Structures are given as C-alpha cells and as structure tokens.
Amino acid sequence: MDKVILHIDFDSYFASCEQQFNPKLRGKPIAVTAQNGRNCIIAASRQAKKLGVKSPSTRWEAIQIAPDLIFTSASFEKYWEITQKFLNICSDYSPFVELFSLDEVFMDITRTKDLFGGSFSLIEKIKQRIREEIGEYITVSVGMSHNKLLAKLGSGMNKPDGFMQITTKNLDEVYKRSKLTDFCGIGDKIAERLQKLGIHTPLDLKAAPLDLLIREFKFVEGHFLYNLGKGIDLSPVTPYYIHDKTKSVGRNYCLLENTFDKRAVLQNIYELCEEVSLKLRRLRKSARTAFIYLGGSKSIHGRKTVLVYFESGKTLFEIILLILKDNHFNFESGDYVRRISIGASSLEDNCNTTLSLFEDKKSSHKLLGVIDKINEKYGDHTIRNAYLLYGPKLKTVPNGYMADKYEREKLALNANF
C-alpha cells in the first residue's frame, strides 16, 4: 500500500493570526515585527506580499515598497496557542502528526483516511474545523503525496487555501512548474553550485548522474540531492509527542541599524554564541559544528566542524572567529552588517560524549552550570563575559522563550504518553 502523506502549511501565519485577532487589520497590508523593537519584518500579510513586501526585510525597505504598510508586534504566545488547537484538530484524524515548525505539520493518513470518507474528505474536514474552531481568516494550504518531500513541495504550489497532489504520473509536470529552491533542503547557495554544474531546474536535477553530485557535494549531500531529484524520501512521519532528536540549535538577530563597527558586530556575535550555548546546555547536549551567516553590504556563509564536542559560548565564538578568518572577514570603507545568524549542529547528548581527562575542562563545565543558575535566578546578563561589558544586551524573548516553552510542552506530552 502506498503511503498517503499530507503537508499542511498555514498561509501567512503570523500576519493572518494578527488579522484574526484584530478585525481592523483584515484586508490590509500588514507587517509583523518582533516584540523587542527590532526593525526586521518577520512576516507579511497576503496583501503586503502582493505589493512585494517580503520577510526578512527592514522597515525602511518595506516602506519604500508599500508606504501604507501597517506594522504590528508579534504575539508568539497567541501563535503557540493556535498551533496547539491545530495539533488537536489534526490528531483527531491520525495519530501520526509531526510538528515541523510553528505553522506546518506532516500527517500520515494512510491507515485512517478511509475512516473519514477518503483523503479529500479528510482534508476538507480539517479545513472546516480550522474555520470553525480557530478562525475564518486563518487558512491552510495542503500538499499530498506518497512521501514528505513531495507533500511539502505540493503545499506551496497553490497558495493560499490551496491543495496540490503530487504522484509519480504528474511528477515531471510539477517539476516543470518548480524552481530548485522550492525544495526543502536547497537554498540559494546550493542552487548556485548546482547551476555551475549545468543543473538549473528540478528536471535537470532529476537527470543528473549520482557521481557528478558526489564529486561536487561529497557522499552524503550528493546522495541527498540525487534522491531529491528523483522524488525519493524514506523518512517517516514522527508524531510530535514522541521525542525527536534535535539536529541543530540557532539564534538569529536583526540589528537595529546598519552597523559599521567591527567590534560591535563581534560583540553581537559573541552574545548570540552565548545564547546558543545556553540552549545547548538546557537540552543537555554538546555540538561539534558551528555555523554563521552575516547579512549586510556583503553576505558571509560558513561552517566548521571540530574534533571535540563543545557547549560553551566562548568555544563557539572561537570557532566562529576561525570561520570569519577563512572568509576574510574584514571591514573596509562602507562595509556594514545588519543580520546575524549563529548556530551549532552535529549534536550529541552529553551522556554519550567522552568525559574530559583534564581538570580545567571539568572545572569549566561546573562554572558554566553555576553561571546559568545565577542568571536564571537573577535575570539574563547578571554574569557575562568581560568582552561584552559595554556590549549590547540582546533581547530574544520571543524566539528563546517560545523555544524553551516548546521543549517544556514536549516533555509534558512525553510524560502523558
């Protein structure tokens, strides 16, 4: 029996939620910004998107495109409440519901679709309940296929409030309508590398030989792209109440203005490294890979994998400095940075990592634990590295708080099953 997998994706989620909360915003171009006063737009309504407003972009950039744009602050707790209602609805139609992000899920309805009159009837029932129980202004688009890869591709093809089924018979037709970057797993950088190989479309990727992809992208990523081109994905739908292994931890920050001072940029990077490492320690994990993205007058992407696991912000920052050195990061006249992303991957549970033989490493681990407890009791930044003494105290409450709350919700769910 072929599997029947759905990918259900909210349309303009944050903005649609705000329009559902506030009828005065309905039908108008709005942009959602973070609660902490950052200038970056994190979501745009359908009306704003039609005018050309995109996320992420700055207020200034958006106003140039849409002078009548209305700005509103994000309400992450409300979004999470809606996501929970949505999960409850989906769970009534299948026990296999995977929370992919705050505004999208995968569902395996292979064994349950016939209980609700078939796949199409089941989808319509879910959409109807969203209108009745969440709000008529909040809609979803649905992709359906025999695996997660193609279901996700389908959900983005007929937005908003759309539906697309992808089968082996219409796969080539779908690929003709798609771009490489429409695939989950292909970003701009990978697309550029593929284009240098003469691979410009999904159909080109489907025809690309495996050895060509392995030569350019190495064994693992080469195989991934080869399977992606063929429409192959064997990954299962993992229910959200079953512990899923966190693959990476990251923090993004949009500076309040274009920053031309290299030291100020490095201080912001260091602060984000501290936040990422704090998240690692709360998850009781260590990492071996660090990655960074800087956006501004120039873009810098880089990652580096080291031989030993780390969980401290200082170590993560030192690895990031090596990445920046490899990318020749150096401010010239007129250079500036506006967006920063820091992350860590290649994670492993601390209980599975090798204990250090050196006393200084053990002492450092204990010290980090003490600092975390003090900061949790008396507030963030009570104790911070001297390098950050006069640096900015970043506020990442929306992302950080919701991520931590989501982890607590999952732990509670795990305890109930």
Rounded Cα distance, 65 and 336, in Å: 22
Rounded Cα distance, 313 and 308, in Å: 15
- Where b means 16+ CB within 10 Å and e means fewer, 236-268 reads ebbbbbeeeeeeebbbbbbbeeebeeeeebbbb
104 assigned to active site: yes
- The residue from 18, 98, 104, 271 that is catalytic is 104
Pairing mode, strands 337-345 and 163-165? unpaired
Cis, peptide link before residue 239, omega less than 30° from 0:
no
Are 272 and 342 a contacting pair, CB within 8 Å? yes
DSSP assignment of 20-51 equals: HH-GGGTTS-EEEE-TT--SEEEEE-HHHHHT
Which amino acid is located at 104 in the chain?
E
Which amino acid is located at 329 in the chain?
F
Rounded Cα distance, 271 and 287, in Å: 18
Count of all residues that appear for the chain in the document: 417
Rounded Cα distance, 197 and 285, in Å: 38
Structure tokens of 139?
């809609």
Rounded Cα distance, 181 and 177, in Å: 12
Could you give the residue numbers annotated as active site? 104
